[in-house]
Structure 1
Amino acid sequence: MREDYQPNELVGRDEEIQKYQAALQPVINGEQPNNIFLYGKTGVGKTAVTRYLLSHLAEDASQYEDLELHLTFLNCDGLTSSYQIATRLVNEFRDETAQISSTGYPRATVYEMLWKELDAIGGTNLIVLDEVDHVEDDSILYQLPRARANNKVSGAKIGIIGISNDFSFRDDLSPKVKSSLCEQEIHFPAYDAGDLQKILEQRRDVAFRDGVLNDAVIRLCAAYGAKDAGDARQSIDLLMKAGDLAREEEAKTITENHVETGRHDLERGRIEEGIRGLTQHGHLVLYSLLTLHLQDGTPVRSRDIRPRYTSFAQRAGRDPLVPRRMRDHLSELVMLGLVSVTERNEGRRGGTYREYSLAMNVELVLSALDEVVDEVGIHESIHSLVTDDIFRDS
């Protein structure tokens, strides 16, 4: 039930696996690997499918004497620049005694170190950059795929697999990076309830004793997962939480009541953890959207959120961020599942734009925003919801 568990077979992703296998075929052929870009929401199987296929690819490659394959996985969460990624990759390829500092070197020097390490390794190198949308500049996404063509390396073939939860990330890439990184694109849609039920049944057969879990519990967990953006991880976590609650009660079976209680506990914990990790401006953007939601002002465009955000920032004694940085905070809220986004296309006259809505329980969000509400003040839209239990100092 844990996130690092790798099942022997993946269900619900046959079409994506087929496309992925075709994109990886040049590796087995001994050719220059494709650069592959995967995108889709959190929990739809991008990373799981990648690890599953690459493990099988490594097994297949080991059967060929003249094929030397090296796999490198790097999660970009917490890495905001190409410099940081390049430094981390150099250290991935070096012994612990030869690690370099993450600061202090000119960028060109770090890249030279990286090319030297890759040439020393040789063979075919697939570098997986998970959550690549965290990186604010795309230099590394151009440098790595073009290293061989630009004569930076001669003994290594390099392929990039970029994985992103942010659908808009690709749109913000420079044209030269798009042409390099996005040679092969695979979109992972949300799982439906049927797919999630098959995934849960697969985990049930391994994780639970016979007879403690009925089909109704599986269906309920799958239905909630499908409702929550088709996130397999959420469905699996919900089933595990229901099992933990049943074990704590020393119950003989897991019931739908355990699922309901578990869902409430997980949702509260997820909201509190997500909001706790936001910056103060992230809190202000979320508070602005919440108050608009309570006044039936959503879905709403970012430009219409901005006046209220600006007012709240000034009340909190903070300088409002420029529109682009405010939109970055909205994107982070979307990624955390606190906010949903809808793409709109009004044709030539209206153009394409995004509208945002609150995607979580209002009371839970409010309880996690108590500090920013104390600082900014109680907006008229939340007066009826404010209680001594939520805001002790009100």
Structure 2
Amino acid sequence: MGLFQPDTDIFCHRDALREDYQPDEIVGRDEELQQYIAALQPVINGDQPANVFLYGKAGVGKTACTRYLLSELKSDAVEYGVDLTTIRTNCEDLSTSYQVAIQLINDLRGSENRLKPTGYPRRQVNEWLWDELDSIGGTIIIVFDEVDHIEDDSILYQIPRARANGNLKEAKVGIIGISNDFKFRESLSSKVQSSLCEKELQFPAYNANELRTILRQRADTAFYEDVVPREVIAKCAAFGARDAGDARQSLDLLMEAGDIAVEQDADQVTEAHVDEARAALERSRIVDGVAGLTQQGHLVLYALVMLHEEGKTPTRARAIQDRYKIVCDRAAVDSLVPRRMRDHLNELAMLGIASRVERNKGEVGGRYYEYSLDTNPDLLLEALDETVDMVGVTESIRKRRS
């Protein structure tokens, strides 16, 4: 008998819990789906597509709903004789409109005549893009996922206006912009807001009931019958709702609990497996987050951990700056100016290691942010031990505790 054998007790289709799995039906997003369908309706009528802007936290169904509805739309377009093409571009590594245009041209051309990342006049690149879109013709929907990574928004204005400006003759192009950043819309120029945000949909965080529905749907496909009891679904959903209303987080938790059940040769996934899975995922998240920090990021984190252990958080950035300078002196490293130090604090908040809360004390006190640790300090100290211990802070904190 070989080392590897098919799982016949727990998982029957584990991939159903993955982010890229597309269920046959979207659950927990009825209201948003109805609004989205209405926004896409002009396409099936053969009219110019509306430009749609979706925003909400990660893991709340924006991309899943988009994939699902565009698949349905393409199917219906065939039935009603509408010539429809959809293009999806992830903007995570694209910071300029120029880069986005190059990426779109290369996506449209396929492997032939691909452009280099740089070296062409902007006007020429735009003309190539219009030529490629017109050569496809018909109705074209371009999905810009993580659209907030584009720092200059000219392409978000040019594409929706291309037909009116005479740049496109054969193609009717619409944009779907997807963003996790609630404030991205405010950063757009007014002319881009009026075009990109023609139809605007906000996806709120899932509540526990919605997460239970999603998890049950996926579990029925991913696991064998009677392997995942109701209380396990409820616990995974409760954790997800409490943390961020993030379906992705709840699904990852359920998958990790299933993996632990397989490891332990169990007949069912239990609540104890969920607890073990949560601890394992949290440890992994923290280790990965800390490992990805720069030396200065570690020093800022050390300063925040020290203040937390002394009971001095939440606190303002200037108090953290004072402690950070002391840590830098111990490490024989030059400290950063306050603005750069705050950039590292904000990175910690983005990683979920710290939290950042805005305070408003009115005309006298003004507006400012308070920072605090948002992670199990023991796990953080373990992760910091795995980095180069430049200042011996972890040891000094443990001595203070004992």
TM-score when normalising by structure 1? 0.86
Distance, in Å, in 1 between the alignment partners of 2:250 and 2:293 is 25
- How far 1:177 moved relative to its partner? 2.1
Q: Which moved more, 1:299-308 or 1:152-161?
A: 299-308
Partner in structure 2 of residue 40 of structure 1: 56
- The answer to whether the Cα contact below 8 Å between 1:41 and 1:165 also exists between their aligned partners in 2 is yes
Distance, in Å, in 1 between the alignment partners of 2:319 and 2:74 is 50
- How far 1:3 moved relative to its partner? 1.4
Trace 1:284-295 onto structure 2 (pairs within 5 A): 284-295=299-310
Amino acid at match of 1:374: D
Tell me which of 10, 19, 24 is aligned to 2:40.
24
Q: Which has the higher contact order (CA 8 A, sep 6+)?
A: 2
Q: Match of 2:27, SS? A: coil
Trace 1:138-157 onto structure 2 (pairs within 5 A): 138-157=153-172
Tell whether 2:177 aligns with 1:162: yes
Q: Match of 1:98, SS? A: coil
Amino acid at match of 1:31: D
Distance, in Å, in 2 between the alignment partners of 1:297 and 1:140 is 46
Trace 1:91-240 onto structure 2 (pairs within 5 A): 91-240=106-255
- How far 1:276 moved relative to its partner? 2.9
Trace 1:1-394 onto structure 2 (pairs within 5 A): 1-65=17-81, 67-300=82-315, 317=333, 320=336, 323=339, 332-342=347-357, 355-370=370-385, 374-375=389-390, 378=393, 382=397, 384=399
Q: Match of 2:192, SS? A: helix
- The answer to whether the Cα contact below 8 Å between 2:381 and 2:394 also exists between their aligned partners in 1 is no
- How far 1:259 moved relative to its partner? 0.8
Q: Using a 3 Å threshold, how does the CA distance of structure 1 residues 105 and 288 change in structure 2: closer, same or farther?
A: farther
- The answer to whether the Cα contact below 8 Å between 1:165 and 1:335 also exists between their aligned partners in 2 is no
Deviations 1:12-54 (A, max 9, x none): 1111111111111122222222221111111111111111111
- How far 1:157 moved relative to its partner? 1.7
Q: Using a 3 Å threshold, how does the CA distance of structure 1 residues 22 and 275 change in structure 2: closer, same or farther?
A: farther
- How far 1:202 moved relative to its partner? 0.7
- How far 1:205 moved relative to its partner? 1.0
Q: Using a 3 Å threshold, how does the CA distance of structure 1 residues 349 and 186 change in structure 2: closer, same or farther?
A: farther
- How far 1:252 moved relative to its partner? 1.2
Q: Using a 3 Å threshold, how does the CA distance of structure 1 residues 286 and 378 change in structure 2: closer, same or farther?
A: closer
Partner in structure 1 of residue 3 of structure 2: none
- How far 1:64 moved relative to its partner? 2.1
Q: Match of 1:374, SS? A: coil
Deviations 1:283-339 (A, max 9, x none): 45544544444444544555665555677678664573673x666655554443334
Q: Using a 3 Å threshold, how does the CA distance of structure 1 residues 246 and 115 change in structure 2: closer, same or farther?
A: same
Q: Which moved more, 1:178-187 or 1:360-369?
A: 360-369
- The answer to whether the Cα contact below 8 Å between 2:324 and 2:335 also exists between their aligned partners in 1 is no
Q: Using a 3 Å threshold, how does the CA distance of structure 1 residues 175 and 357 change in structure 2: closer, same or farther?
A: farther
Q: Match of 2:201, SS? A: strand
Deviations 1:110-136 (A, max 9, x none): 222212111111122111111122223
TM-score when normalising by structure 2? 0.84
- How far 1:341 moved relative to its partner? 4.1
Deviations 1:47-82 (A, max 9, x none): 1111111111111111222x2111111112222222
Count matched residues: 385
Superposition CA RMSD, Å: 3.0
Q: Which moved more, 1:203-212 or 1:147-156?
A: 147-156
- The answer to whether the Cα contact below 8 Å between 2:134 and 2:168 also exists between their aligned partners in 1 is yes
Distance, in Å, in 2 between the alignment partners of 1:291 and 1:373 is 17
Amino acid at match of 2:37: Q
- How far 1:153 moved relative to its partner? 2.0
Amino acid at match of 1:19: Q
- How far 1:163 moved relative to its partner? 1.1
Larger Rg: 2
